[in-house]
């Protein structure tokens, strides 16, 4: 039987940070799937938020985070997250992350939507996620205690008491069991690919949510999916994020013909829910919306990756407005966990976007996601030392993920979720979506994507209010009775039947 002290599923920034931190005391096996370059982390253009400048403070960073979260943030965890942010930047720099600096050698700090100070650190202008992921990946690959396997996790192994004791993996030809003497960490990313129009990679189909659900873990706030306002859609169907840092540098949103989307230019840097909804409303009235960065000085040099991709499509960021539209970007909900990743299932941890820690509330503040990934990874490294050591035989799996079913199901899921579970929702559409999703569950019983989509839709149906990242057209205002997280766990019925508790 293959075994490691810690098994981590996922090779984005959360998974790699956790692997490096826990490898200080334990041998680690990383189930890396297709590798880090296919993760959401590697695509992250924007940076990492940290109060590092004169006149800034973690308390101000926390206040901005709480304001964006629309009443659903865990205030204590937000304070801890923002207090640890400066140390995260220092920790990453030790691995050679080339953070951008000004002419005097100080970190170059930018501003993004919802922030009241310049506190966003970047690398490579608009390639922060790539540079952080690459640095951590190289460090993990060199580490003598870290074993990296290009396999996919298809099940959480549990013993007779329900404790997570390992994972089942699939390499395309055969299934293996890898035991975990101390802990299993899920860092599989989010759910954006379920919506079709997304900044996320094709792998972001909610695998970690599905795996944890079948293991009996509590899920929280799945209805809160953030829609980034500025995606560019290429002719080949590819979607590319146009970083919020562009608006932080002075780019503005305009409607067809040139009129500004917002009368007050400062509104271009309001939180993502406000900007995305404004664009959606303009589109509903028949207007295309463009991001105009033509007045941003040296824009192509400051945002080289974005400029190069647009140039290949025949567009010039420096001389013409670029058409944009909202797209699924980030899951605020997930597997309920503390900041070290502990879940309701002993031995099972959730990290990064797979987790719901409460720091993002109903609407994530820009550039807090990469910060959360590293904070959780470092805390995970400390927490696993307290986990009991054992080699417990696993029970037979109750459910195994079938990746080939996900591949077949996602093209069917995308129009359903975009139409009925997207930025603008109502009860009629959500109920219709659930009928379609239940039919798909019968046809794809091993699809984690179908299960995750159903759980999101059920949570969205329960939350009869407009709050944070989305709008309910049949309940246009926040409702005080819903100023609390939604929670769900597996019922003793069909996999798509869930019980929402309060």
Give me the active site residues, please: 272
Tokens for 49, please give them: 């938020």
Interatomic CA distance for residues 325 and 303, integer angstroms: 19
Q: How far apart are CA 484 and CA 488, in angstroms?
A: 13
Report the alpha-carbon distance of residue 365 to residue 372 in Å, rounded: 11
Q: What is the CA radius of gyration of the chain?
A: 21
Give me the half-sphere count of Cα atoms (radius 13 Å) on the Cβ side of residue 322: 32
Instruction: Give dist(CA 477, CA 472) in Å, integer.
Output: 8
Q: Is 227 helix (H, G, I), strand (E, B) or coil?
A: strand
CA 362 vs CA 166, 470, 486: distances in Å: 32, 9, 11
Helix (H) or strand (E) holding 115, with range, is none
Structure tokens at 82: 């923002």
Closest CA relative to residue 402, chosen from 182, 116, 241, 207 = 207
Q: How far apart are CA 68 and CA 23, in angstroms?
A: 35
Which segments of 187-264 are extended strands (E)? 219-220, 225-233, 239-241, 252-255
Looking up tokens 């205030």, which residue turns up?
75
The DSSP annotation for 124-141 comes to TTT-HHHHHHHHHHHHHH
């Amino acid at each position: 039987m293959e075994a490691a002290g810690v098994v981590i599923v996922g090779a984005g920034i959360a998974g790699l940070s956790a692997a490096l931190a826990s490898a200080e005391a334990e041998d680690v096996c990383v189930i890396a799937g297709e590798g880090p370059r296919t993760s959401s982390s590697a695509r992250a253009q924007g940076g990492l938020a940290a109060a590092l400048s004169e006149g800034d403070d973690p308390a101000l960073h926390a206040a901005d985070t709480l304001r964006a979260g629309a009443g659903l943030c865990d205030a204590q965890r937000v304070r801890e997250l923002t207090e640890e942010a400066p140390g995260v930047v220092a920790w990453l720099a030790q691995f050679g992350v080339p953070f951008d600096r000004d002419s005097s050698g100080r970190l170059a700090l930018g501003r993004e939507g919802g922030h009241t100070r310049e506190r966003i650190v970047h690398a490579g202008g608009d390639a922060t996620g790539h540079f952080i992921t690459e640095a951590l990946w190289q460090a993990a690959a060199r580490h003598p205690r870290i074993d990296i396997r290009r396999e996919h996790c298809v099940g959480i192994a549990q013993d007779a008491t329900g404790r997570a004791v390992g994972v089942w993996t699939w390499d395309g030809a055969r299934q293996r069991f890898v035991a975990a003497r101390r802990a299993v960490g899920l860092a599989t990313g989010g759910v954006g690919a379920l919506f079709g129009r997304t900044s996320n990679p094709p792998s972001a189909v909610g695998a970690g949510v599905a795996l944890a659900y079948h293991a009996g873990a509590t899920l929280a706030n799945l209805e809160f999916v953030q829609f980034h306002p500025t995606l560019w859609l290429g002719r080949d169907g590819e979607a590319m994020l146009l970083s919020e840092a562009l608006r932080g540098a002075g780019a503005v949103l305009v409607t067809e013909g040139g009129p500004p989307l917002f009368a007050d230019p400062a509104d271009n840097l309001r939180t993502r829910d406000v900007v995305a909804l404004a664009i959606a409303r303009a589109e509903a009235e028949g207007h295309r919306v463009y991001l105009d960065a033509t007045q941003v000085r040296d824009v192509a040099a400051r945002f080289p990756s974005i400029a190069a991709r647009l140039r290949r499509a025949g567009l010039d960021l420096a001389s013409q407005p670029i058409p944009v539209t909202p797209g699924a970007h980030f899951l605020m909900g997930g597997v309920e966990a503390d900041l070290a990743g502990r879940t309701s299932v002993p031995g099972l941890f959730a990290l990064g976007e797979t987790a719901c820690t409460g720091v993002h509330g109903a609407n994530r503040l820009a550039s807090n996601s990469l910060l959360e990934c590293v904070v959780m990874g470092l805390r995970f490294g400390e927490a696993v030392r307290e986990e009991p050591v054992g080699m417990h035989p696993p029970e037979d799996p109750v459910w195994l993920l079938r990746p080939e079913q996900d591949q077949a199901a996602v093209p069917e899921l995308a129009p359903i979720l975009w139409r009925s579970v997207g930025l603008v929702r109502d009860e009629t559409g959500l109920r219709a979506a659930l009928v379609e999703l239940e039919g798909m569950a019968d046809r794809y019983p091993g699809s984690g994507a179908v299960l995750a989509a159903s759980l999101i839709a059920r949570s969205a149906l329960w939350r009869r209010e407009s709050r944070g990242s989305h709008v309910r057209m049949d309940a246009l205002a926040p409702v005080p009775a819903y100023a609390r997280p939604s929670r769900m766990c597996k019922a003793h019925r069909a996999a798509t039947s869930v019980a929402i508790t309060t």
